[in-house]
Structure 1
Amino acid sequence: MPQPPSSTSPRIPWWLWLNVLSLDAPLVAVLWQAALARVCRLILPEGCYWALGLAVWIIYMLDRVLDSFSNAAQSVTTVRHAFYRRHRVLFLVGVIPAATAALGWTALTAVPEGILWRGVGLAFIVGMYLLHYAARGHSTIYLLGNLVASAVGSFFLWTLPIPPLFRFFFTVLLVGLAVLTVVGRSNQGLRLLPKEAICGYLFALGVSLSVHFYSLDRLAGPLSMETLLLGLLCMLNCVAIASYEKEPDRLGDKNAITHTWPVMVQLYPALLVGFFVALALGVSRDAPQGMLPYILAVLSSLALLGVVHYLARKFSPELSHVLADVAVALPMVVLVLGA
């Protein structure tokens, strides 16, 4: 007989509060930004860290608040989803507006203009991502919202003072998400791209944005080794979490990789090993000397993700989720403090 979801418990363990309050992702993002800046020998303004942390926090809160309106999410859910369903009014009228105001103030007073406009461009892409997946249960809003957002986003991307490479790259992403909008509605099974792959790559783009700017567009670009490695690592982290929360996603998230690309969940251990071996071979051959600490941190995260996955069957989905996030954060702490 299946056990009731852990979200029925009135008490939330201390180790779960960062996850429940959506503070885990901002913390990971800031740590990776600091690590990337360190290996690139850059000193970023404090405002860049605050802006990144606030932006990621707002995105994750919005995603979870929107998820809380899903009818399917009422039945089987995680602790964090139950928390947001109970307190979504507070987040909608209090926490998210306050965090957005703080982000706007930080962006206008403590972030260089060049990073600000690149961040605005990326925000259009993230908005499309949220609309594409969070509004999946409302056909009219889903289709019209995505298509209007694509048109408006494309207009602003080609009028804002954004470097040509970013302008072209963000436009391609917008068009791609618009195509996924139409295809996704007509095919409720396999998706062209797993949601987790898009999420991981957008996360990596945001983390590397300031470093790319301060390196004068020489390091951490959209298709650079640094960004792609982080994007792949974040994707694998998302796949792991989806596999641990398969039961809540069974009804609540039809876009989860456990539905759209279930073979990737089955092959997850092989993906970890393959990525680890390929990266290790690359390090032993011709990896840039200055990026060795960064690559070793990625390798360490992969190894820790493997350990967490092996032990996950002994833990609750919530604890496995938290440990998967620790696996991608801990090597960065070591790198930032010890490099």
Structure 2
Amino acid sequence: MANSPLLRSVDALTAASIRPEHSHNPIIYWHLLSLDAPTVAMLWTWFIAESNGVKLPLTSILAMGVAVWILYATDRLLDARSTMDAQLERRHLFHQNHRSAFHAGIALASLALVFLVSCISPAALRLYVILAAPLIGYFVLIHLRRKSSKARSTPRLPKEIAVGIFFSAATFIPSVARNPVLRRPLLPAAALFGLACCLNCLFIYAWEHPFATSVPYPEAHPATRLALRFRAFLSILGIAGGFGLALYSSFSRGPNSAPWQLEVAISLSAALLLQLHFRRRHLDPAALRAAADLCLLTPILLVFTLHS
């Protein structure tokens, strides 16, 4: 699989577009401007719907992108305020140095989101409200704990795992809301996509927190440490699980199977993340972080197979 033309093409794109010496590379700024996660969210929201024959209005896809951008930009601004300068990553420093522009952007984006949300179907809106309540609570809890120097404990659900759960649920909601029959067939794919999103966060955490002691990642949540220990196994599980489900979907073609394109895209993302991990020393931190999100853009490689 490492020699697959699809993997070679994405690997070549990554290597050519995010070389460390290119400080003004647009891919780096795609990451620094917090546009990476919204791009991934919009692409998967559209791809999940399109592969299942669900026609989403443009407002639904845009609402996803705007909401995710507000969340990620706010998270990075709050991280920059609550973390010592020596521990800040380049994305946090960028948000801190341009905080006035980001504050204005978040305000404008919030106004746009109010309009876009008003165009979302009532069924999808109800599901989003159910998802948003714990998400907002978790978001507030995370940053209140970081702000307080006395709070040593960590939330029961680590951020690296929470992101995978919420991100996957959010991208599947529009399709499921418009066609409730898809809930059961898409559940395995949603779980696998959640795993791929978790792997994205786990690999990034490992790259940004190299350990020099006998105890790896001492500051991480116990669940995060356990997942980091088995991240290669989890990657293989995502790769094999995706292709296994794709084979089942291709042969069964029944009402209880998801489109094979969806499952192959998830499997390829897991494979690319694992491959990127093995080549991580060839990229600087900002490029590596951007490349991790590029690995989640695999639906682009399968668009031509839809409706064929």
Give yes or no for TM over 0.5.
yes
SS at match of 1:135: helix
- Report the CA distance shift for 1:75/1:243 in structure 2 as closer, same or farther (over 3 A): same
User: Matches of 2:268 and 2:227 in 1, distance apart?
Assistant: 22
Aligned residues: 275
Corresponding residue of 2:235: 272
User: Matches of 1:33 and 1:255 in 2, distance apart?
Assistant: 36
User: Matches of 1:255 and 1:84 in 2, distance apart?
Assistant: 27
- Report the CA distance shift for 1:314/1:256 in structure 2 as closer, same or farther (over 3 A): farther
Percent of pairs identical after alignment?
27
Corresponding residue of 1:102: 112
Contact 1:66 1:134 in 2 (8 A): yes
Corresponding residue of 1:295: 263
User: Matches of 1:13 and 1:255 in 2, distance apart?
Assistant: 34
Cα offset, 1:24, TM superposition:
0.6
Task: Map 1:28-107; keep pairs closer than 5 Å.
Answer: 28-72=40-84, 74-92=85-103, 94-107=104-117
- Report the CA distance shift for 1:337/1:57 in structure 2 as closer, same or farther (over 3 A): farther
1:112 to 91, 111, 121: 121
Structure 1 counterpart of 2:28, one-letter code: L
Residue 133 of structure 2 corresponds to residue 124 of structure 1: yes
Corresponding residue of 1:171: none
Structure 2 counterpart of 1:244, one-letter code: W
SS at match of 2:145: coil
Gaps spanning 5+ residues in structure 1: where?
Answer: 1-8, 143-184, 249-253
Residue 300 of structure 2 corresponds to residue 333 of structure 1: yes
Gaps spanning 5+ residues in structure 2: where?
Answer: 1-20, 212-216
Contact 1:243 1:265 in 2 (8 A): yes
C-alpha deviations, 1:209-249, integer Å up to 9, x for none? 1101111x22246981232121111111111111122259x
User: Matches of 1:336 and 1:257 in 2, distance apart?
Assistant: 38
Contact 2:78 2:143 in 1 (8 A): yes
Corresponding residue of 1:152: none
SS at match of 2:279: helix
Q: TM-score scaled to structure 1, two decimals?
A: 0.73
- Report the CA distance shift for 1:328/1:300 in structure 2 as closer, same or farther (over 3 A): same
C-alpha deviations, 1:149-205, integer Å up to 9, x for none? xxxxxxxxxxxxxxxxxxxxxxxxxxxxxxxxxxxx5745xx643321111110111
Contact 1:133 1:255 in 2 (8 A): no
User: Matches of 1:83 and 1:338 in 2, distance apart?
Assistant: 39
RMSD, matched Cα: 2.9
- Report the CA distance shift for 1:255/1:33 in structure 2 as closer, same or farther (over 3 A): farther
User: Matches of 1:274 and 1:81 in 2, distance apart?
Assistant: 32
1:321 to 286, 289, 295: 289
- Report the CA distance shift for 1:260/1:277 in structure 2 as closer, same or farther (over 3 A): closer
